């Protein structure tokens, strides 16, 4: 191992340590005192409920753990978006679980809460996964109602999705384990089956105070909408549970009876661990996002037996296309090669080299063909992003880089096989789009702690913004010294660097998670297993494509 490997390893393990520390903080939800208060009511926390529901010692992945991080500080914050979402196994069946965290503003819905719930439902719809709702929410967070209530992708979309999933035959089970008020009361009742916990669960369109104010009726909340009322009088709920664990055990028994599902039929054989040590990833991945490294070495540590069959190995070498297996599942890999590639032999001039992480005409053409092949063969696609964008300049423009790039974007957009995206390093500009960014419907999209997402790098953006701001200030008669220029550059770069952070993206659910690189195989394997619940029902068609 060389000194650079050791430096890289130290750097990346520090990033991993930061990730684990942030996750530990997120998992406290509204904080220790609120957790204790929650327990004093005889209730489990959202995370405790989810963990109890999922099979012991089984694999799981959490969606949107960092949702809302550093957002809404003027309102006290919203850790993890006030809701816990996990894909895991209940009685051996893969399910998606959504649990309101009542330690965060009594489980009230912030804008990011709505976005996260909709992302969970999107995953369930795309993959036809059974979805379990563990309801404990005070409803819409009223100070921000204009950002969560009326629009297409706001609160009401949840109930629309309930209806759509029901028509698709996707199992939905809801347990009311705390408050379930106003519009939110429709969610459990639009599910296939609904449970309610005695004495702690309640469902009503308006609580006792509002009923008194609106119609003058005096009634307590338990009589108005408690478990006995809805299980024995209104018939709104189907099961009455004595406590949280009783409700969760009932859900387990219901799920246990669900029949098998129609499968998409993705190819899987017995899994094999990578031959090359996955831990080496920490030393291979460079400390600086501008430095080169060999993406082949990353791939070897992600795929079964460290084996892959490369497609068009000698052509378009800034993108690697290869068939491989991950945890036994067949995958087609599209990955950015970060090394400089010599295009015309050992004596290549710098002007004839292809720079790593850049998409050129030939690499875009190769990727388009490979994506089409994977669709033809029904092989899920895995995109490994470390991309600075498409090649610019007269040579590329005259060669039709826009057309070749458009072909690649077309192929990604029209793919019918499930797509998965891992942002390893840079994810800049149109490269993000061509390599299946969030806008292109990957079934799951995750980032490593080393990732950066933006229109361009912080350094490049700061230089551009500096020139604009400098010109503006000079027009106003302000003189610029070297010191002033450096101070302004630093101010701009610091602001921009905050926005390219993977945590900034994860807070806004531009990615589903930030993960340890060593968890990548588990995420892809569980993602393909989920996708296998949804048979492909349409042909692959690129539409109008300029050849």
Residue 355 pLDDT = 76
Closest CA to 176 of 206, 204, 159, 197: 197
Residue 210 pLDDT = 84
Residue 174 pLDDT = 97
Instruction: List own/partner pairs for 47-53 with CB under 8 A and 24 or more apart.
Output: 47/84, 47/99, 47/101, 49/99, 49/134, 49/177, 49/244, 49/248, 50/84, 50/86, 50/88, 50/97, 50/99, 50/134, 52/244, 52/245, 52/248, 53/90, 53/97, 53/132, 53/134, 53/248, 53/251, 53/252
- Strand ranges for 102-197 from DSSP E: 131-137, 172-181, 193-197
What letter would DSSP give residue 145? G
Question: What is the CB neighbour count within 10 angstroms for residue 39?
Answer: 13
- Judged on CB neighbours under 10 Å (0-12, 13-18, 19+), 399 is middle
Whole-angstrom CA distances from 242 to 172, 197, 199, 238 are 21, 6, 8, 14
Rg (CA), the chain: 26
Residues with Cβ within 8 Å of 478's Cβ and at least 6 positions away in sequence, in order, are: none
- Judged on CB neighbours under 10 Å (0-12, 13-18, 19+), 93 is middle
CA angle, corner 423, sides to 443 and 81, nearest 5? 65
Residue 241 is encoded by which pair of tokens? 């549970």
What would the DSSP string read from start to end of 177-189?
EEEEEGGGGHHHH
CB contact at 8 A, 210 and 221: no
State the DSSP H helix or E strand holding residue 168, giving kind and residue range, or none if neither: helix 156-168
CB contact at 8 A, 182 and 155: no
Q: How far apart are the C-alpha atoms of 131 and 281, rounded to whole Å?
A: 35
Per-residue model confidence as pLDDT tens for the chain (547 residues)? 589 999 999 999 999 999 999 999 999 999 999 999 999 999 999 999 999 999 999 999 999 999 999 999 999 999 999 999 999 999 999 999 999 999 999 898 999 999 999 999 999 999 999 999 999 998 888 889 888 888 888 888 999 999 999 999 999 999 999 988 877 788 888 999 999 999 999 998 888 888 888 899 899 888 888 999 999 999 999 999 999 999 999 999 999 999 999 999 999 999 999 999 999 999 999 999 889 999 999 999 999 999 999 999 999 999 999 999 999 999 999 999 998 877 655 454 555 567 778 999 999 999 999 999 999 999 999 999 999 888 777 787 767 688 888 899 999 999 999 999 999 999 998 899 999 999 999 999 999 999 999 877 767 777 777 788 777 777 887 777 778 778 878 887 787 788 899 999 999 999 999 999 999 999 999 999 999 999 999 999 887 665 5
CB contact at 8 A, 135 and 176: yes
Residue 403 is encoded by which pair of tokens? 């057309």
Residue 247 pLDDT = 97
Helix 482-500, helix 458-475: angle, nearest 10: 140
Q: How far apart are the C-alpha atoms of 237 and 229, rounded to whole Å?
A: 9
Residue 498 pLDDT = 84
- The whole-angstrom distance between residue 547's C-alpha and the CA centroid of its chain comes to 34
State the DSSP H helix or E strand holding residue 165, giving kind and residue range, or none if neither: helix 156-168
Closest CA to 417 of 457, 382, 456, 467: 382
Closest CA to 302 of 497, 88, 520, 452: 520
Residue 112 pLDDT = 96
State the DSSP H helix or E strand holding residue 443, giving kind and residue range, or none if neither: none
Q: How far apart are the C-alpha atoms of 524 and 531, rounded to whole Å?
A: 10
Q: How far apart are the C-alpha atoms of 295 and 434, rounded to whole Å?
A: 18
């Amino acid at each position: 191992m060389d000194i650079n490997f050791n430096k890289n390893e130290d750097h990346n393990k520090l990033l991993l340590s930061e990730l684990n520390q942030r996750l530990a903080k997120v998992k406290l939800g509204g904080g220790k005192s609120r957790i204790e208060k929650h327990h004093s009511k005889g209730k489990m926390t959202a995370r405790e409920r989810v963990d109890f529901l999922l099979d012991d010692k089984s694999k799981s992945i959490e969606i949107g753990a960092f949702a809302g991080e550093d957002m809404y500080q003027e309102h006290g914050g919203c850790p993890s978006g006030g809701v816990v979402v996990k894909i895991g196994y209940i009685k051996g069946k893969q399910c998606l679980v959504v649990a309101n965290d009542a330690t965060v503003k009594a489980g009230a819905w912030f804008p990011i809460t709505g976005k996260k719930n909709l992302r969970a439902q999107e995953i369930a719809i795309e993959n036809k996964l059974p979805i379990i709702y563990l309801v404990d929410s005070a409803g819409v967070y009223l100070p921000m109602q204009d950002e969560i209530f009326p629009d297409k992708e706001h609160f009401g979309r949840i109930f629309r999705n309930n209806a759509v999933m029901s028509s698709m035959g996707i199992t939905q089970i809801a347990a009311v384990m705390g408050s379930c008020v106003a519009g939110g009361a429709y969610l459990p009742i639009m599910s296939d089956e609904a449970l309610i916990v005695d004495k702690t669960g309640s469902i009503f369109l308006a609580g006792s105070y509002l009923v008194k104010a609106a119609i003058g009726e005096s009634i307590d909340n338990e009589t108005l909408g408690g478990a006995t009322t809805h299980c024995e009088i209104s018939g709104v709920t189907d099961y009455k549970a004595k406590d949280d664990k009783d409700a969760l055990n009932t859900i387990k028994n219901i799920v246990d009876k669900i029949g098998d599902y129609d499968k998409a039929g993705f190819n899987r054989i017995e899994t094999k661990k990578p031959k090359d040590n996955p831990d080496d990833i920490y030393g291979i991945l460079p400390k600086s996002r501008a430095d080169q490294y060999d993406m082949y070495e990353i791939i070897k540590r992600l795929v079964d037996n460290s084996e892959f069959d490369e497609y068009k190995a000698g052509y378009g070498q800034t993108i690697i296309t290869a068939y491989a297996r991950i945890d036994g599942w067949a995958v087609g890999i599209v990955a950015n090669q970060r090394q400089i590639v010599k295009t015309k032999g050992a004596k290549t001039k710098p002007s004839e080299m292809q720079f790593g992480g850049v998409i050129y005409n030939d690499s875009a053409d190769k990727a388009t063909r490979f994506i089409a092949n994977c669709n033809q063969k029904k092989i899920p696609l895995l995109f490994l992003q470390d991309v600075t964008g498409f090649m610019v300049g007269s040579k590329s423009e005259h060669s039709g880089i826009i057309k070749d790039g458009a072909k690649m974007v077309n192929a990604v957009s029209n793919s019918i096989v499930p797509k998965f995206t891992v942002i390893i390093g840079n994810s800049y500009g149109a490269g993000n789009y061509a390599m299946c960014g969030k806008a292109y419907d990957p079934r799951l999209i995750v980032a490593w702690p080393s990732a950066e997402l933006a229109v361009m790098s912080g350094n490049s953006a700061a230089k551009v913004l500096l020139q604009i701001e400098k010109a503006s200030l000079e027009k106003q008669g302000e003189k610029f010294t070297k010191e002033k220029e450096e101070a302004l550059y630093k101010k701009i770069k610091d602001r921009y660097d905050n926005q390219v952070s993977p945590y900034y993206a994860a807070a806004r659910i531009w990615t589903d998670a930030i993960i340890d690189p060593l968890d990548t195989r588990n995420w892809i394997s569980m993602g393909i297993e989920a996708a296998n619940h949804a048979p492909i029902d349409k042909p692959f068609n690129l539409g109008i494509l300029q050849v």
